[in-house]
Structure 1
Amino acid sequence: MIISEELFEGICDLDDFNLLKFVISSELRLKILFSLYESSKSIKELESEINRKSGNISRGLNELKSCKLITKLPNKLFAISSTGFLVAKNLENLMDNMGSIESNGEFWENHSIKSIPNKFLKELSIFNNSTLVKSTITDFAKPINLYLENIKKSTYICMILPVFSKIFNDAVNDAIIEHDGYLDLVTTKNIYDLSIKSDSDNKIKSLVRDKKIKFYIVDDLPNIFFTVSDQFASLYLFFDDVVFDNSEMLLLEDDLNLNDAYRFYRFFKNEILK
């Protein structure tokens, strides 16, 4: 996999950027760092694993050591430093993210991610195992219908909502009522106002009063319509900064990925409410 500098757009700390760039600019340094990320090793062990001469290995070790990414132990083993561990972890996340983008390349190519901060883009690896659900000529509403089917079975729902849709809102409210569920919702004042105005049956007001819905109102949101529940997680994006696309959806359904999706929601909420 080729990692280009474009992946680091949005990283504000110049020192962090330079360290990452320093490592990925050399295949040898990258291999040594990831090898020591797994466990401490001697030069001979690295030579055998990476299949390079000891002189090359020594040069790579010295280069990493000069940046304090690794350290030499008294027993002649080399180990990753705390700084090196963080750099390797970030690179590992970037590679996972690239895997996510490559596995659903059409979805990412078709949508704008300009409004999504880098710190959230780094979490894209939760969609590595997602399914791309698309509208078809014979079933234009396929993504919407599948979303609504999953919502109807959901109990504990968390949502990032940058767009108003009465269909989605009504389905969520009905699910909460039917299953005695709960909705944790991050949205904007504009979307909140539209939701309240459309609440002709006073379902939302009743659910808020009964502490079944918790609104977190923010001034602005990235263009991510993200939902996670005990049944599924989904992601819709926008064609551009204005036009929402309901014709394509990334879908997650297994329990392990749902746990990661809940973690992403908590991370997003904590960051956006700072």
Structure 2
Amino acid sequence: MKSKGILSILTFSEKRKDILFLLEEKPCTLSDIKEYFDVSSPEIFPRLKEMENYNLIKKADKHYQITPIGLAMIRHFRPFLDILSTIEKNETFWKEHMLDDIPQSMIDNLMELKNSELVSDSIENIYESHKTFTENISKSSFLKGVSSIFIPTYPDFVVGMAERNVPTSLILTEKVFSKVRDEHREKLEYYLNASQTELFVVDDIKVAFVVTDYFFSLSLFFSNGSYDPRSDLVGYDTSAIKWGNDLFEHYRKLSRRVTSI
């Protein structure tokens, strides 16, 4: 019964949770806490007393401070809040798209995408997000990408990266690789012979993304198996880029290297 009481302390009141986050940073007096939350003593004092009773905080020399138990609780609770926030922020995106080909270990770390934003196009202009994509690429010093779809403009785009000696590592599905080899053979040969390029081929997967030193952009397939060309999840912070790099490494280990055709 005790654990249920502590759980309710953290989940049923935003204020109590936020008090723990505040005291995690530094001890505070009652006046400090009242000023921070802009509340009166009758509003905040019962919450503080309740948290004291559960050994989450304690009072010493007129200062409230977080206890070792409270610190342990909040450090385990924060990742849960982060992943909850990540999912709720773009709930429709995660609900309507296939996640089958993203390993569970990556789903477990979905909170690393909490600051990422959904870039969506109208049905009349479904390639507007690709404009954002190319603008971001121009600010990047390397490119890693996984593609399970073929976009006609991409062969020229990738060759342009190779011509500028931008380190580029691509993973294509067997179907996309076959199409590029059959329809853009000269461009493929140029890419393979460039000095800072890599090409890998993987079995059919339902995911497409790019990651650079500047940004990460993720595209998914709808639950019915069709590709969604209108929505990209884009992140610019260190954690999103790390998540993208980890996902790329996952697929690279499943791929075969292509050096010639």
Normalised-by-shorter TM-score class: 0.5 to 0.7
Partner of 2:51: 60
Structure 1 residue runs of 5 or longer lacking an equivalent are 1-17
Q: How many Å apart are 1:244 and its aligned residue?
A: 0.6
Partner of 2:66: 79
Q: How many Å apart are 1:243 and its aligned residue?
A: 0.9
- Please identify, of 141-150 and 84-93, the stretch whose mean Cα deviation from structure 2 is larger: 141-150
Matches within 5 A, 1:1-274: 23-42=10-29, 45-46=32-33, 49=36, 51=39, 52-63=43-54, 65=55, 70=56, 72=58, 77-79=64-66, 81=68, 82-91=71-80, 93-94=82-83, 96-97=85-86, 100-101=89-90, 108=93, 111-115=96-100, 116=102, 117=104, 118-128=107-117, 131-136=119-124, 139-144=125-130, 147=133, 155-161=141-147, 163-165=148-150, 167=152, 169-186=154-171, 190=174, 193-194=177-178, 197-198=181-182, 200-204=184-188, 206-208=190-192, 210=194, 212-215=196-199, 223-229=206-212, 233-240=216-223, 242-250=225-233, 257=236, 259=238, 261-269=240-248
Partner of 1:8: none
Confirm or deny: 8 A CA contact 2:169 2:198 kept in the other structure: yes
Q: How many residue pairs align between the two structures?
A: 238
Q: Give the TM-score taking structure 1 as reference length.
A: 0.62
Deviations along 1:116-175, one digit per CA (max 9) or x if unpaired, are 5432532332323x5433331xx45444466457657865212233x1315254144222
Confirm or deny: 8 A CA contact 1:28 1:60 kept in the other structure: no
Deviations along 1:197-225, one digit per CA (max 9) or x if unpaired, are 4474354455445452335666675x442
Deviations along 1:55-91, one digit per CA (max 9) or x if unpaired, are 431212333x3xxxx4648656422645234235325
Confirm or deny: 8 A CA contact 2:222 2:228 kept in the other structure: yes
Amino acid at match of 1:29: R
Question: Residues 47 and 60 from structure 1, CA distance in 2 versus in 1: closer, same or farther, beyond 3 angstroms?
Answer: farther
Structure 2 residue runs of 5 or longer lacking an equivalent are 255-261
Question: Residues 91 and 170 from structure 1, CA distance in 2 versus in 1: closer, same or farther, beyond 3 angstroms?
Answer: same
Q: Give the whole-Å Cα distance in 1 for the aligned partners of 2:208 and 2:145.
A: 7
